[in-house]
Amino acid sequence: MTGNFRLQIAMEEHGFTQPELAKAVNAALRAAGERDSVGDRTVRTWLTGKSSWPHRAKREALEAVFRCSIKHLGFYPPGAPAPPQEDPDVIRRRFLTGVGGAAAAVASPFTPEAAARPSRVGSSDVIRLRDHVANLVALDAERGGHTALERAALDGASEALGLQERSATQRIRRRLFAIASDYTATAAWSLIDAGKLDGAGRHLDRALTLAGMAQDPDMIMQVWNLRALLARQRKDYPEAVAASQAAQALPIVRRSPLHASLAHARTAVGLAHMGDRREALRSLGRAEDALSKDDKKAAPRPSWISFYGPAELYALTAVVRDVIGEPAQAEAASYRALTALPASYRRNRAQTTARLALAQLHQGEVEQACETGGEVFTIMAGDALPGRMRRVLGDFQRDLISRAPSARIAHEWTDRYRNEWSTP
């Protein structure tokens, strides 16, 4: 890092671009009754180190904006040595914990005005909240949706929205709205996976509003994806298809093969349930083609879509194939999904195993299907089964009794696992 690296880091932490910092400094100058002003070019001279000691009014304006002393921002007077090079992470922690802010309280006549304003929100707040979303997504992959996950997600959304009351750049505000949308959508998903569908729609309505305020197409895509899932769980398949097609129309789908693949795969599942075999397989083919074009070395993806890839597409293919009456192909797709699934995706592994048991049962392989169905409880041992998984096992149990009403193994399976799969 060259030039005034301390100022660079301070700008990153507060979410300032060069024009935004110039605007904030000019506001501080006007508040102090100064006629001077700065522009992008002045900020560049500060960042490159060409200007190491701004005029007094500008120094005090910078202290008011960042709420720390001018020296902590990497500036030094003529004849003085430049600040020593330090690890950027050390400097970031210093800004995050507020070290050095006391000097500005003495040095700057603007400090009382600055202190009266809400403290500024920066990139460090955004990163912290985003990391927490990622932790919730990881917890979901391990355990599945549950009430505690919903509460934690809603708390995160509330915190992100609460930060809007503090001073922030417009870019940071949009990022906070996007994070609040992500949290709220995560809360909706936790209800969908837990089988508690009544409140999920309200969360999704709120998440979509927040995504619009954030002007974030990725978050909008997340909401439509969950809308399709919610409609499918309610067995409202026309709405599931409509939600998936709404996702297909988003600009991000045209730019990202990964997002396009997911939208087409969701459409395929809805069409299969509606009995439209031809269009379901066509959508499935589009999902496969799009995923083959995905650049796995592209920029990091949002945590919400981290679940999607070859394993999930195989799992959705298994659903489509089984619904349209091709259980052998469904079984093959389920095995491919299980092979490709990351070890940390315990809930997805159990869900796919339940679908595999159904595919085997639909081929008349009753003993094998019962053995496979029993593996679900082994995989999820120690945690209650999410409601969505219990529904699949309920379908399995009903199909098992209808296809093999007199088979001893069918009754043994039901007697052994009834309490485990039916208990919330």
Whole-prediction pTM value?
Answer: 0.73
pLDDT reported for residue 301 = 79
CA separation (Å) from 57 to 33, 45, 117, 341?
Answer: 10, 16, 20, 59
The domain segmentation of the chain, as residue ranges, is 5-116, 121-215
The whole-number average pLDDT for the span 400-405 is 86
d(CA 327, CA 357): 10
User: What is the model's pLDDT at position 118?
Assistant: 46
> By C-alpha distance, which of 337, 335, 331 is closest to 315?
337
Helix orientation angle between 257-273 and 277-292, rounded to the nearest 10 degrees: 160
Q: How far is CA 9 from the centre of its chain?
A: 25
Average pLDDT for 306-324: 96
Q: What is the pLDDT of residues 79-112, one digit of tens each?
A: 888 777 665 555 555 554 444 433 333 333 333 3
Report CA torsion sign: 246, 252, 254, 257.
negative
Of the listed ranges 113-117, 228-232, 253-257, 356-360, the one predicted with least confidence: 113-117
Average pLDDT over all residues of the chain = 86
CA angle 295, 297, 302 (to 5 degrees): 85
Distance (Å, whole) CA 70 – CA 57: 11
AA identity, residue 272: A
Q: How many Cβ atoms sit within 10 Å of the Cβ of residue 359?
A: 25
Q: Average the pLDDT over 249-259 and give the result.
A: 93
| Under 8 Å between Cβ of 203 and 185 | yes
CB 267 within 8 A of CB 244: yes
Residue indicated by tokens 């304006």:
61
Does the pLDDT value for residue 267 go beyond 80? yes
Mean pLDDT along residues 398-406: 86
Going from the C-alpha of 403 to that of each of 231, 273, 406, the distances in angstroms are 28, 21, 9
- The Cα–Cα gap between 77 and 195 comes to 64
DSSP alpha helix (H) spans, 274-386: 277-292, 310-323, 327-340, 346-361, 366-379
Q: Which tens digit of pLDDT belongs to each residue from 351-370?
A: 999 999 999 999 999 999 99
d(CA 212, CA 209): 5
> Six-digit token pair at 287?
């999902």
DSSP letter, residue 52? S
| Average pLDDT value for residue range 288-304 | 84
Give the model confidence (pLDDT) of 139-183 as tens digits.
Answer: 777 777 777 788 888 998 999 999 888 888 888 899 999 999 999
Alpha carbon distance 163, 169 (integer Å): 12
What six digits make up the tokens of 321? Answer: 């194939």
Question: Would you say the C-alpha torsion 131, 135, 141, 147 has a positive or negative sign?
Answer: negative
Region of poorest pLDDT, from 126-140, 254-268, 313-327: 126-140
CA 141 to chain centroid, in Å, comes to 13
What phi and psi values does residue 297 have, to the nearest 5 degrees? -95, 10
> What digits encode the pLDDT tens for the residues 178-214?
999 999 999 999 999 888 888 999 999 999 999 999 9
d(C-alpha 389, C-alpha 376), whole Å: 9
